[in-house]
């Protein structure tokens, strides 16, 4: 099986297991198994197995030391013992210690590599899966919360990979080997040594029951705090302009204080386990030495053998204490893993059909018939909308806030699937087309010009794979962006800050128009593309938009009706319904809803004494 096939199989199993986890949210062992699959599954299984084998060899060296030490003490106790015998046992002990040291170094290196690969695999899977999800998933998830899943939650999983997996494997192997040797030495002392183990296991179970929900709450509150901080930093201008810095500080302190209290409870409970288990381990060794001393006095056992057994007893309980000490790390990872898998289990709501076709452009004719749509079942946003758009027509869309204008665009681009009705594009049912082929032919310029933290040139090339520098520069010239780009410090190689914050709003919008031109779309959608710029810049942008939309079927959403009055037709929405659909002149002559909008915008109010003055603006 190829590496790609192994990775695919691992991912499929990860998805299946994550769905099971969501259905059984309290199955801690299943979540741990799922996390380990990223570190030890697929192509990493062979390396993980080798690391375990090397670890066993190292522990065989460690586990032989108490036996060799006991034999050396027996030589000293034996009147007939010689220096040569003593030296022999010492040499064997040194060899065993050397094997333990060298093999441990190899094992630690392999486990460290596997931990890094496991974290990379988890983060990559999570981020890649997010790219497949539909917009409705992001509508209901704060960005800060999602960032917390990618950063905070995977970070606690990283600590589990780095600090817990290797030590737990080492401890488990040590416990098994120590137990087998103890039984071989003396079953009675073994029973004495095991008397304390049930108490350790009960203590571990109690801590898990208390800590697990506490760590889950800790990760949830950490996500809430991260979300608030991300939102506050994004809206810092509003906070400063409204003089709400104190409010932001107080809310952040309140969230952080709550996080501290939850975290203190979780970590205190889990960390309390270590000193308790250490105390129990000390009691166990004392019991072994007391019983062993009686056996030495009665002649049933040599002193060296009792000392060796005490060493094995420590090797049995110390790993138990170590595992107990790693409970907080493990349970924290379980809480983080649960939140990560709650995203991975999500499935896109907009999916290509198994037999979906590639969109074949035939001019850009669009036909919508009786289209209903709702973001939330039972609450319709669009109702019984029917309209036709001829190839190459420019359609303006207007209406009051919340009328459903952007929603209409969202279903035309198939960001969401409609509830009922049909949408045909060039005679092809929208739902039967692949999303990729459809969106390759549809260009979108939004009200908020979003640019990435990269060079101007790379932001332009983002629109189409394989776009050349010459094509991007030509597009920038068409969009009237070339001049100001050349005046930037490094021209097209100038690095933009996040969201293009080192440019003006108009400059950002002109770059997004140029980017749309680079994509070479056949159909254009503009959503308030000129609403946030000054009049002079608006003219430059409008000139670029005319070039971009020339000869193409296009839709332009606008509140400023002057920007769409020259459209072939204007679609007027109110309350999720198309109430008028005609040219500007026809709509003005009808003196209906559009007339009221237009006159109220340019005259301050609708003409008194007309029906238009009595229209109701309805939001969905």
Given this structure, which CATH class describes domain 447-520? alpha beta
Q: Where are the alpha helices (DSSP H) in 326-468?
A: 327-344, 405-412, 435-440, 456-461
Sheet (strand 553-557) strand order? 442-445, 523-527, 553-557, 394-398, 569-574, 577-582
Query: 271, 266, 268: which is closest to 326 by C-alpha?
Result: 271
Percentage of the chain beyond pLDDT 70 is 82
3-344 is classed CATH 1.20.1560.10: yes
Beta bridge partners of 423: 368
pLDDT at 606: 45
Paired tokens of 610: 């007309």
- Higher-pLDDT residue of 3, 463: 463
CA 351/CA 133 separation, integer angstroms: 9
Q: What is the pTM of this model?
A: 0.71
In the chain, residues under CATH classification 1.20.1560.10 are: 3-344
pLDDT for the residue numbered 272: 64
Q: Span 113-137, mean pLDDT?
A: 87
pLDDT tens digit sequence for 305-361: 777 777 778 777 778 777 777 777 888 888 888 888 988 888 888 899 999 999 999
Residues of the chain with CATH 3.40.50.300: 359-441+521-530+541-620, 447-520
Structure tokens at 618: 């309805």
Please tell me whether residue 604 adopts helix, strand or coil conformation.
coil
Q: What is the mean pLDDT of residues 70-84?
A: 73
Confidence of residue 65 (pLDDT cuts 50, 70, 90): confident
Fold of the CATH domain 359-441+521-530+541-620: Rossmann fold (3.40.50)
Between 580 and 235, the more confident residue is 580
């Amino acid at each position: 099986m190829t590496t790609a096939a192994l990775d695919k199989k691992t991912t499929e199993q990860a998805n299946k297991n994550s769905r099971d986890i969501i259905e059984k949210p309290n199955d801690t062992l299943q979540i741990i198994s799922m996390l380990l699959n990223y570190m030890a599954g697929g192509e990493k299984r062979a390396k993980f197995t080798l690391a375990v084998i090397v670890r066993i060899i190292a522990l065989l060296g460690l586990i032989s030391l108490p036996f060799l030490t006991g034999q050396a003490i027996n030589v000293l106790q034996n009147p007939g013992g010689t220096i040569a015998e003593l030296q022999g046992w010492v040499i064997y002990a040194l060899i065993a210690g050397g094997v333990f040291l060298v093999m441990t170094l190899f094992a630690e290196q392999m486990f460290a590599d596997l931990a890094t690969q496991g974290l990379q695999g988890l983060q990559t899977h999570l981020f890649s899966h997010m790219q497949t999800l539909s917009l409705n998933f992001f509508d209901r998830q704060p960005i800060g919360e999602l960032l917390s899943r990618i950063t905070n939650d995977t970070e606690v999983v990283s600590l589990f990979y780095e600090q817990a997996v290797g030590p737990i494997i080492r401890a488990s192997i040590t416990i098994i080997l120590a137990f087998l040797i103890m039984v071989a030495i003396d079953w009675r002392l073994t029973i004495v040594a095991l008397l304390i183990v049930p108490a350790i296991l009960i203590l571990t179970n109690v801590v898990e029951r208390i800590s697990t929900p506490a760590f889950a709450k800790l990760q949830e509150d950490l996500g809430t705090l991260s979300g608030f901080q991300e939102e506050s930093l994004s809206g810092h201008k509003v906070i400063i302009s409204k003089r709400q810095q104190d409010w932001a500080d107080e809310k952040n302190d309140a969230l952080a204080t709550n996080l501290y209290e939850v975290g203190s409870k979780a970590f205190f409970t889990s960390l309390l386990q270590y000193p308790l288990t250490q105390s129990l381990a000390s009691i166990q060794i004392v019991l072994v030495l007391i019983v062993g001393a009686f056996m030495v006095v009665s002649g049933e056992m040599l002193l060296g053998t009792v000392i060796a057994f005490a060493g094995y007893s420590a090797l049995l309980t110390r790993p138990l204490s170590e595992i107990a000490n790693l409970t907080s790390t493990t349970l924290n990872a379980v809480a983080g893993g649960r939140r990560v898998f709650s995203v991975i289990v999500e499935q896109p709501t907009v999916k290509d059909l198994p037999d979906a076709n590639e969109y074949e452009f035939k001019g850009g004719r669009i036909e919508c018939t009786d289209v209903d749509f709702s973001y939330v079942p039972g609450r319709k946003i669009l109702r019984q909308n029917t309209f036709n758009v001829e190839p190459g027509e420019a359609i303006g869309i207007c209406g009051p806030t919340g009328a459903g204008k952007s929603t209409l665009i969202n279903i035309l681009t198939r960001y969401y699937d409609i509830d009922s009705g049909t949408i045909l594009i060039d005679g092809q049912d929208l739902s039967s087309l692949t999303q990729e082929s459809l969106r390759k032919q549809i260009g979108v310029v939004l009200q908020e010009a979003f640019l990435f933290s990269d060079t101007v040139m790379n932001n332009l090339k983002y629109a189409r794979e394989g776009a050349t520098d010459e094509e991007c520069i030509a597009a920038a010239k068409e969009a009237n962006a070339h001049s100001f780009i050349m005046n930037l410090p490094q021209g097209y190689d100038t690095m933009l800050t996040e969201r293009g914050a080192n440019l003006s709003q108009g400059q950002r919008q002109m770059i997004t128009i140029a980017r749309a031109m680079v994509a070479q779309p056949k159909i254009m959608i503009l959503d308030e593309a000129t609403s946030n710029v000054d009049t002079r810049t608006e003219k430059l942008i409008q000139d670029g938009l005319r070039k971009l939309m020339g000869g193409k079927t296009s839709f332009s959403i606008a509140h400023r009706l002057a920007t769409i009055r020259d459209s072939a037709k204007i679609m007027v929405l109110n309350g999720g319904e198309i109430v008028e659909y005609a040219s500007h002149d026809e709509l003005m002559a009808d003196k209906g809803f559009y007339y009221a909008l237009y006159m109220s915008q340019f005259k301050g109010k609708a003409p008194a004494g007309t029906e238009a003055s009595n229209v109701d603006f309805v939001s969905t």
